């Protein structure tokens, strides 16, 4: 158990639908990062939140959005789902902004999204 | 962040040392080398990182060349459970807009066989 909790573990939904993925960071960590891993794209950074505020943005589609709540958990919302959105979605956390020098990030076990 | 080049795949016999190379010829002075691994669709796992000195922890050793243009991750006694994709990542720590993210390449698929 890495300390980063992602729910649900598996999700099957239809095209056009909307889903919400949830991530609870490791205790004490203020930053949450979201990554998408599909077979043809590898691990792609989507977005980072630090203490409730968006800090960095990657290749996140406009149909996707995220937020981090006061209790520091984060949600990734995916809407108007397409077949190509089928992927593993990982959340990671770190204590600060990501500039720490003494260790790396901690990843959760992911949510496998299948769009049919 | 500097780009990295890794071999697509490597094999290693169980019990032997696994040496995984990484080239990062465009690395700049404030950029660190990180290694992560991903075991079959699990979340990536942090292994080790360093700036210019060699580093060792309970999982592995990291050897960085003097010119910092390449590095080698060493798993001293590979086991079957070390079969995974190993990612070498170069990242700065000096702030800016990119230091918050890790940029993963394709990595090296390490297969440890009996």
pLDDT tens per residue across span A74-104: 999 999 999 999 999 999 998 877 666 566 7
Place of tokens 């006694």: B77
**Alpha-carbon span A83 to A13, nearest angstrom:** 10
Mean pLDDT across the stretch B61-78?
A: 97
Q: Do B101 and A58 touch (CB under 8 A)?
A: yes
Q: What is the mean pLDDT of the segment spanning B85-89? A: 96
pLDDT at B114: 95
CA distance A60 to A82: 14
> What percent of chain A is modeled with pLDDT above 70?
95
Query: What whole-number distance in Å separates Cα of residue A2 and Cα of residue A11?
Result: 21
- Nearest 10 degrees: CA dihedral of A93, A18, A110, B109? -110
Looking at residue A46, the DSSP 8-state letter turns out to be E
B74 vs A57, residue with greater confidence: B74
Contact between A100 and A72 under an 8 Å Cβ cutoff? The reply is no
Burial degree of B59 (CB within 10 A; 0-12, 13-18, 19+) = middle
Q: Please give the structure tokens belonging to residue B90.
A: 């170069």
Q: Determine the average pLDDT of the residues in B41-65.
A: 94
Q: What is the pLDDT of residue A80?
A: 98
B42 contacts A42? CB cut-off 8 A? no
Q: Which residue is associated with the tokens 């909790």?
A: A5
d(CA A29, CA A2): 12
The yes-or-no verdict on residue B99 having pLDDT over 60 is: no
What six digits make up the tokens of B66?
């003097």
Please report the pLDDT score of residue A99 as a whole number: 60
Chain-centre distance for alpha carbon B111: 15
| Residue-by-residue pLDDT tens, chain A, 116 positions | 889 999 999 999 999 999 999 999 999 999 999 999 998 778 999 999 999 999 989 989 999 999 999 999 999 999 999 999 999 999 999 887 766 656 678 999 999 999 99
Average pLDDT over residues B70-82: 97
Inter-chain touch A31–B36, beta carbons under 8 Å? no
Which one-letter DSSP state was computed for residue B96?
Answer: S
B32 interaction partners in chain A (CB closer than 8 Å) = 101
**pLDDT band for position B10 (50/70/90)?**
very high
- Quote the DSSP letter at residue A103: -
- To test the contact with chain A by mutation, choose from B43, B55, B84 the residue with the greatest count of A C-beta atoms within 10 A, namely B43
């Amino acid at each position: 158990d890495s300390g980063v909790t992602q729910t649900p573990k598996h999700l099957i939904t239809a095209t056009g639908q909307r889903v919400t993925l949830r991530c609870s960071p490791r205790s004490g960590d203020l930053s949450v990062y979201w990554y998408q891993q599909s077979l043809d794209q590898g691990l792609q950074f989507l977005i980072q939140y630090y203490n409730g505020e968006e800090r960095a943005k990657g290749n996140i589609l406009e149909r996707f959005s995220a937020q981090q709540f006061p209790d520091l958990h984060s949600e990734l919302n995916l809407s108007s789902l397409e077949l190509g959105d089928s992927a593993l979605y990982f959340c990671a956390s770190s204590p600060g902004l990501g500039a720490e020098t003494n260790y790396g990030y901690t990843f959760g076990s992911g949510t496998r999204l299948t769009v049919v | 962040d500097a780009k990295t080049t890794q071999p697509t795949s490597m094999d290693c016999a169980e019990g032997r040392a696994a040496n995984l190379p990484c080239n990062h010829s465009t690395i700049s002075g404030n950029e660190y080398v990180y290694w992560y691994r991903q075991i079959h669709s699990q979340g990536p796992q942090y292994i080790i990182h360093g700036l210019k000195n060699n580093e060792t922890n309970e999982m592995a050793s990291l050897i960085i060349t003097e010119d910092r243009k390449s590095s080698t991750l060493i798993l001293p006694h590979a086991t079957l459970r070390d079969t995974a994709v190993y990612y070498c990542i170069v990242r700065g720590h000096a702030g800016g807009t990119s230091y918050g993210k890790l940029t993963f390449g394709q990595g090296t698929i390490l297969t440890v066989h009996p």
